[in-house]
Structure 1
Amino acid sequence: MKKILVVVDSINVNDSSGSKCNVALIINMIKAGYNVKVYHHSRKDISINGAHCVKINVNKFNWIYILGGFLRFLNRNFNLITTPFIERKIGFSPAFLSDVHDFTRTLKKDSFNPDLVITLSKAASFRPHKALLNIKEWHSKWLAYVHDPFPFHFYPKPYDFYAPGYKYKEQFLINFANKAAYSGFPSLLLKEWMGKFAPDFLNKGVVIPHQLVEIENKEIQLPEFFNRNKFTLLHAGSLLGQRNPKGLIEGFFKFLESNPEANETAQLILIGSISENHSDTFNKHKNKRDNLISINKNLPFDVVYQLQYSVSVNIILEAKSDISPFLPGKFPHCVAANKKMLVLGPENSETRRLLGNDYEYFSEIDNVDVISKLIEKLYFEWKANPNEMLLNKPELLDYLGANNLKFIIDTLLND
């Protein structure tokens, strides 16, 4: 049995969509028959059935941690924010470097002797990747997974901006692209996008999509705002400043204006933190019938997962841009739920690539007329037969599943 060592920021599925994706990948590695050991920096001890999980302990006696504590003291007591200044000088915060120190210190003591080492991360941290740069003996069997563009100025518009220490972060990216034997990406478009900045990604990169995992169908009480008897559209995920729901909301209410009877039977549900930039849109469209339900916080993963299976339509909403190279973390859940998706985003996107150019429920995020017509079409299909609102993409079930993952990893191991 081949051994895979996974080094990851967190395996707490409730702390971010990135952690959910990382755990799904680990679960499918186990399902594919690998011997998996996981080093993680979650804030609590967490286990994954079938894997040996080791929590990285914080070493409070290294000078970087002590410096970070002193800076936190200055911030808390004197409102002195020093981290951006330090990042401009050395590229990374003391907290980042302290965590990297903890990872490196622990990994150098490991006796697992893996056949493949995979570094996973979330948000903009890439701490495991920084730690692996310090362990040269593993570079020949290292797969550096890049879940999102990095650094921030390598994001496509409108997400891009120059973070403090961006030159150091850029060099860090080029270093691990060069040193790692392989690189992994959740989408083909992301691999091609990042290859423009680090050509090694094009030569060494493989596409390992976010994974679809079988989750035990527990008896979960769904929220009171959800009514199984209504035509429900669900967007689950944060609405960042760039991820603007205005076109979706206005398209939905235009659909209601054109179809007054739907006021009694249609709901748009938005779950996840909402940027204040969008508050005017929400305030404008409040109504007494509760057609628009907005939950400005994250709900537990298992609740959202069951909602995705129970609603009429799942929504993918991306930013207004020329390209969206991201594979949304919820995409596998939406495929598994087998409900039709309303996809709002740029035409050049990974979601559109996977669903196919002939997928009909697609619009740019700000085309209110098209969005309204698509919702209307979905509504009348639901009225005709609510049990036939199916996605029916079996090829995506295979693409996102453990068998395809095993084929990809076995190809690397036999390289």
Structure 2
Amino acid sequence: MKKILVVVDSINIEDSSGSKANVALISNLVESGYDVLVYHYTLKNIQLSKINCFAIPEIKYSPLYFLSRLQRVFSRNSTVNIAPFLEQLFGFSFTFFNDTNSIVRALKKLKFQPDLVLTLSKGGSFRPHYALLKVPELHDKWLAYVHDPYPFHFFPRPYNWVESSYKSREAFFLKVSQKAKYSGWPSQLLLEWMGSYYPDFLKTGTIIPHQNAKYQVKNTIVPDYFDVSKFNLLHAGNLMEQRSPEGLIEGLKLFLKKHPEAKNEIQLLLIGPSSGYSKMLVNYQKDIEELYVQDGNISFEIVYHLQKHATVNIILEAKSEISPFLPAKFPHCIEANKTILSLAPYLSEVKRLLGHDYEFWSEVDDIPKIASIIDKLYHLWKQNPASLFLNRSDLEDYLSADYLKNTIDNLLKN
């Protein structure tokens, strides 16, 4: 039995979509029959069912720990944000350095002899990757998994955030591309995108999509705002600044203008953080009774339950020339087996996987096309709700533990 060490930022599925994706990947590695040990830096004693997990302790007696806490106290009691200055000076924050040192110290005590070391991160931290650079004896077994472009200024427009320490972060990831024996990517487009900046990734890269893992969900009560008898269009997830729902809502308005008889049968639900669009959404809700907005973080179990009972699941992405991301919720939408309304650029990983002839796709701001798609979906639902089952066994297989096992086995053979 092959042994896999997973070094991961967090296994708390409630803290981010990235952690959900990480836990799903870990679960499917175990499902595939590997002997898996998880070293995680969640800073909570979280255990995963039937998986051997070790919570890496934070170093609390060091100059870096003291400096990180001093900076936090200063930030709380001052209107001056000194973080950009410090990161430009040192490359990363004191907290980042202390965190990565904590991971390194734990790895240096490791007695487990893995055949493969997999680093997983979330957001923009990549702390496990930075730590692995300091453990060269593991480099010939290292698979560096990269879930998003890094650093932030390598995101495609309209994401345009340039960090003060971007040069240090570029140098860090150049080392990752050179030292890791393998690199893993959730999408083909992301591998190609990052490979244009770091060519070594094109040599080491293998596609490991976000996984469709088996979840044990308790009997979740359907929220009052969700009427299962209606034609429900559900967007579950963070409406970031770059992901505007305006085209979607205007498409709904145009549909309702043409088909006012549908008003009592349709509902568009936007579930998840949306504070950046609060004013716009409040104004829309005044005119559109069929629009429901639930701002803030929603528990994973409720979201998972709603996705399985929605009529249509929406994956909304930014207006851009390309979207190389595979959203972490994509496997859940495939498992839900409901039609996906994809609002994305023509060059997007979601569109690539659904197929170039997939009919329920539109640019995010193409209001007439969005209205036309809603029209077609609504009338299909009226004729036969079962006609909106997705029925994509190819994608179910692509996101499965069996496909993952085949990918890892081939990697280790070579």
SS at match of 2:263: helix
Instruction: Figure out how many residues of one structure are paired with residues of the other and give that number.
Output: 414
TM-score by length of 1: 0.98
User: Aligned partners of 1:79, 1:298: CA distance in 2, in Å?
Assistant: 27
Q: CA deviation at 1:369?
A: 0.6
Which residue of structure 1 aligns with residue 55 of structure 2?
55
Tell me what 1:401 maps to: 400
The answer for the alignment partner of 1:297 in structure 2 is: 296
1:268 partner SS: strand
Counterpart of 1:329 in structure 2 is 328
Q: How far off is 1:50 after superposition?
A: 2.4
**Structure 2 counterparts to residues 22-61 of structure 1, below 5 A:** 22-61=22-61
Q: TM-score, normalised by structure 2?
A: 0.98
Q: Is 1:145 aligned with 2:140?
A: no
CA distance in 2, matches of 1:31, 1:180: 25
Task: Give the ranges of 4+ consecutive aligned residues of structure 1 lying more than 4 Å apart after TM superposition.
Answer: none
C-alpha displacement at 1:89, in angstroms? 1.1
- 1:262 to partner: Cα distance: 1.0
- Give per-residue Cα distances to partners, 1:62-119, cap 9 Å, x unaligned: 1111111111121122334221111111210111111001000111000001110000
Identity of matched residues, %: 51
Deviates more, 1:36-45 or 1:365-374: 36-45
Distance 1:279 1:345 in 2: 22
Matched, 1:266 2:276: no
| In 2: Cα distance, 1:48 partner to 1:408 partner | 23
The answer (yes or no) to whether the contact 2:8–2:40 under 8 Å persists in 1 is yes
Contact 1:212 1:397 in 2 (8 A): yes
Q: Is the 8 A contact 1:141 1:181 kept in 2?
A: yes
Task: Name the residue aligned to 1:365.
Answer: 364
Contact 1:263–1:289 under 8 Å retained in 2: no
- Residue 188 of structure 1 corresponds to which residue in structure 2? 188
Root-mean-square deviation over aligned CA pairs: 1.1
Equivalence for 2:74: 74
Contact 2:338–2:389 (8 Å) recurs in 1: yes
Give the stretch that moved more between structures: 45-54 or 263-272: 45-54
Residues 126, 72 of structure 1: alpha-carbon distance in 2 compared, 3 angstrom cutoff: same
Residue 21 of structure 2: aligned partner:
21
Query: For 1:12, what is the secondary structure of its paired residue?
Result: coil
Which residue matches 1:92?
A: 92
Q: Which runs of 5+ in 1 are unaligned?
A: none
Name the stretch that deviates more: 66-75 or 13-22: 66-75
Counterpart Cα distance in 1 of 2:261 and 2:178: 60
Secondary structure of the residue aligned to 1:118 is strand
Please give the secondary structure, in 2, of the residue aligned with 1:153: helix
2:163 alignment partner in structure 1: 163
Secondary structure, counterpart of 1:406 in structure 2: helix
**Can you list the C-alpha shifts for 1:7-39, whole angstroms capped at 9, x where unaligned?**
000000000000000000000000000000011
Amino acid at match of 1:386: P
Report deviation, 1:133.
Answer: 0.3
C-alpha separation in 2, matches of 1:128 and 1:299: 27
Q: Deviations over 1:42-71 (max 9, x none)?
A: 131111122210111111101111111111
Does the Cα contact within 8 Å between 1:241 and 1:275 map onto a contact in 2? no
Change (3 A) 1:288 1:81: closer
Listed as ranges, the gaps of 5+ residues in structure 2 are none
Letter of the 1:28 counterpart: N
Mapped partners of 2:378, 2:78: distance in 1: 56
Give, in angstroms, the shift of residue 389 of structure 1.
Answer: 1.2
| C-alpha deviation, 1:289, in angstroms | 6.8
Q: CA deviation at 1:138?
A: 0.1
Secondary structure of the 2:379 match is helix
The letter for the 1-side match of 2:283 is K
